Structure 1
C-alpha cells in the first residue's frame, strides 16, 4: 500500500471507531454509511492525505486492506444469524452496476421465481409480481433521525479540532448520509419482512447494497453474491458466477 491508500484506510478506520456508538435498530451506522461521500467535499483533504506526515492526524494505522475486511467480517459475525433455508424467489437489487445479460438470466433463472428490486421509483411506476420498489416500503423514521442527529452533534463536540470532522461540509454530509442510511435500513427490513425471498444478488458493497447485505445477514438470508467482486467481464464469467450460486443453494434452477 502506498502513502495515500494507507492514510485513507486509516482515516476510515478512525471514522468507524469514532462513530461506532451511533446505532439504529442494532446496526452500527459507521459501518454502513458511504464514507467517501462524506469526506469528498473537504477542500484540502485529498491533497494532504497523500503526504507522509498526515499520519500525525490519525489514531489508526492500516498497513493491509485485509485489516478493513477483517473488521467488517468481525462485526458482521456479531449480528448475523444462521442461514434459514427458504423455497422462495431470488431477488436482484437493480442498480447501474448490475450488468447480467438477459440471455444469462433466462438460462439460469426461472422468470416466475425472480424478483427485481428497483432502487428508484418514478411517479408513474407500479409494482408487479416480479418487480418491486424500495420506496413502497418506506415508513416514518423522523423521530429516530432527530435522536441520532443529536447524538452525532454530541460526538462532533468531542472532535471540535479534528482536521476532517471540523469541516462544515463534512459535518453536513455526515448527517445527510446517516439519515439516508436510516431510511435504507428501514426500507430493507420492511421489504424482507413482507416479501418472501431466498437470496438477493447485489452488485457492489457500496451504498444500498451494503445495507441490504447487513440487513439480510441479520435476518438469516443466504450469503449474497457481489458480482463486481468477480470482475465479471464476459459471458463466461457470468455463467461461472451463476453456476456458483446454483451450487450454493443446491438447486437445479435458482428459485425453484
Structure 2
C-alpha cells in the first residue's frame, strides 16, 4: 500500500473501532455508515491523508488491504445464520441506478412468479446530507423496469409472496412501504453518539462539526433502513438477493440482514476496478465479477475462498446484438466525413481536459480523423466539440451503437474501455493517477500511456502501420482472455449461480 492507502484504510478502521459500540438490533452501526461519503468531498482531508505524518493521528495501523477486509469478513460471519436451510421463496433483485439490468433481460430470464423487484423510496426522516447513496435513492423509483406492477405491503396476504396474483408481470415492492416511526430508538442511539463525540474533543477528524452532523444523520438513515429491511424479510419469503454494490448502505444492510436469516446475496460488479476504494470491503455472499482479474484481485485482498465467481455483467450481453444504426445514417446525423476513420474519446466532464485537448491537437496534425467526444455523466455536448471543426458530440446515441460505428476508442481508465474491447474495437487508455489505483489496464502494455503525445502516437501507428495494428489487436484479445469471458452470456451464468445457491 502507498501512504494514502495505508492512512485511508487505517482511518476507516479507527472509525469502526471507535464507534462500534453504537448498536441497533444487534448490528454495530459504523459498519453500515459509509465513511468515504464524508471523506471524499473533503478535498483538503484527502490531500492530508497522502502525507506520511498523518499516520501519527491513527490508532489502528494497517499494512495490507486484506487486514481491513478481514474485519468485515468477521462482521458478516457474526451475522450469518450457521448451517442455514435453503429458504423457498422469491429471488429479490434490488433495482437501483448502478444495477443496469435491462427490462428485456430481466423479463426473459426470471420467472415473474418467482421474482420480486425491490425499489427503495425515500424513507421517513431527513436523510443524511452529502451521501451519494441518498442522492441515488431519490432516483431509484425511476429505475424500476417496465412490465412490472407495484404491490403495497397491505395487499400481501398470509405472509408469503406466492399469493401475488400475477401472471406476466413482475411484482415491484418498495422498502418505503416498510418504513415506520422509530424516533425513540433513533434518539437513544444518537444521544450515545453525542456522548462518544464529546470524548473525542480535539480529535483530528471527529471534532469537526461537519463530521458530527454527518455521523448523527447517518445513524438515523441506517437505523431506518435496518428496520425496514428486517420487516421486509419477515414479511416476504426470500431465497436470494441480488444487488448492484455493497458500498450503498441500502445494499450493504440488505445483504447482511439477509445473511442473518440464511439468505444468500449476490453483488454484481458495477464497473471495472480502476480504484480499490470503490470495491472494498466486500460484503455479499458472492461477488459476481467480470473476469479472472477481479477474482484474483478480491482473493488477494482478503475475500473468503468461494465468495467470488466470474459471471460478467448482463448489460454487456447487449454488445453481442447487432446494432440497428446504419453507419451511413450515423455519419450523416453527426456530421462526419465518411472518407475518414472515426475515433471516439470518452471523457469525464472537465477532468484532464488539457490532456484531451492536446491529444486532439496532436492527432489532428498527423492523421485525418473524425473525432467523437462521449461526455460523462452529462449528455450535453462537451466544450471540446466547439473548439475543433472535426470533433463532434455523440449526441444521444447509445454507447453500444457508437461502438458499432467507430473504428477505435480512447478512454481514461473506465469501464468504457472494456466494453469497447468486447465490441471488438481497438482501445487506447490515457492513464492517470487515482487514489487506490489498481492499474487495471496494464496488460495492454504500450496501448496505455500517461504521456499524451505517446498515446497519440500509438493511435496514429494503429491507423498507418499494419504491423502496429496487428500487435494492438493481439494485445486486445490477450487482455480479454483474462478480463472477460464471452463464451456464455452473463445472464445465463447469473441465473445458474442463483440456482446453485438456492436449490
Same fold by TM-score, threshold 0.5 exceeded?
Answer: yes
When residues 69 and 170 of structure 1 are mapped into structure 2, their CA distance, relative to the original with a 3 A threshold, is same
Give 3-state SS (helix, strand or coil) of 1:198's partner: strand
Once the two structures are TM-superposed, the CA of residue 240 in structure 1 deviates from its matched residue by 2.3
Contact 2:116 2:172 in 1 (8 A): yes
Provide the C-alpha distance between the structure 2 equivalents of 1:241 and 1:59, rounded to a whole number of angstroms.
Answer: 41
The aligned residue for residue 253 of structure 1 is: none
The aligned residue for residue 74 of structure 1 is: 74
Tell me if 1:93 matches 2:94. Answer: yes
Tell me if 1:237 matches 2:279. Answer: no
When residues 62 and 105 of structure 1 are mapped into structure 2, their CA distance, relative to the original with a 3 A threshold, is same
Deviation sequence 1:99-148 (CA, Å, 0-9, x none): 2233432343211211011112699x983251111111012110011111
The aligned residue for residue 349 of structure 2 is: none
Deviation sequence 1:72-107 (CA, Å, 0-9, x none): 111222222132322211111111111223343234
Question: After the TM superposition, which residues 47-66 of structure 1 pair with which residues of structure 2 at under 5 Å, given as runs?
Answer: 47-66=47-66
Once the two structures are TM-superposed, the CA of residue 70 in structure 1 deviates from its matched residue by 1.0
Contact 1:139 1:187 in 2 (8 A): yes
Tell me if 1:169 matches 2:170. Answer: no
Tell me if 1:136 matches 2:389. Answer: no
Q: Give me the TM-score of the superposition, normalised by structure 2.
A: 0.47
Give 3-state SS (helix, strand or coil) of 1:184's partner: helix
Contact 2:38 2:211 in 1 (8 A): yes
Once the two structures are TM-superposed, the CA of residue 246 in structure 1 deviates from its matched residue by 2.0
Deviation sequence 1:134-191 (CA, Å, 0-9, x none): 1110121100111111100111111111111111111111111111000000000010
Provide the C-alpha distance between the structure 1 equivalents of 2:11 and 2:41, rounded to a whole number of angstroms.
Answer: 15
Aligned match of 2:150 in 127, 130, 133? 127
The runs of 5 or more residues in structure 2 that have no matched partner are: 123-137, 152-163, 165-170, 270-286, 291-311, 318-488
> Whose radius of gyration is greater, 1 or 2?
2
Tell me if 1:219 matches 2:261. Answer: yes
Contact 2:87 2:262 in 1 (8 A): no
Contact 1:38 1:177 in 2 (8 A): no
Contact 1:42 1:170 in 2 (8 A): no
Tell me if 1:190 matches 2:231. Answer: yes
Provide the C-alpha distance between the structure 2 equivalents of 1:201 and 1:43, rounded to a whole number of angstroms.
Answer: 33
Once the two structures are TM-superposed, the CA of residue 43 in structure 1 deviates from its matched residue by 5.9
RMSD: 2.0
Aligned match of 2:250 in 208, 214, 221? 208
Stretch deviating more after TM superposition (85-94 or 228-237)? 228-237
**Which of the pair is proportionally richer in helix?**
1
Deviation sequence 1:175-217 (CA, Å, 0-9, x none): 1111100000000001011112111111111220001111111
Give 3-state SS (helix, strand or coil) of 1:30's partner: helix
Give 3-state SS (helix, strand or coil) of 1:161's partner: coil
Provide the C-alpha distance between the structure 2 equivalents of 1:169 and 1:11, rounded to a whole number of angstroms.
Answer: 17
Deviation sequence 1:35-69 (CA, Å, 0-9, x none): 11233454631110011111111111222221122
Tell me if 1:104 matches 2:105. Answer: yes
Contact 2:240 2:498 in 1 (8 A): no
Contact 1:94 1:118 in 2 (8 A): yes
The aligned residue for residue 126 of structure 2 is: none
The runs of 5 or more residues in structure 1 that have no matched partner are: 251-256
The aligned residue for residue 28 of structure 2 is: 28
Contact 1:33 1:178 in 2 (8 A): yes
Give 3-state SS (helix, strand or coil) of 2:97's partner: coil
Provide the C-alpha distance between the structure 1 equivalents of 2:173 and 2:11, rounded to a whole number of angstroms.
Answer: 37
Give 3-state SS (helix, strand or coil) of 2:85's partner: coil
Q: Give me the TM-score of the superposition, normalised by structure 1.
A: 0.90
Provide the C-alpha distance between the structure 1 equivalents of 2:97 and 2:221, rounded to a whole number of angstroms.
Answer: 19
Give 3-state SS (helix, strand or coil) of 2:238's partner: coil
Give 3-state SS (helix, strand or coil) of 1:6's partner: helix
Contact 2:109 2:491 in 1 (8 A): no
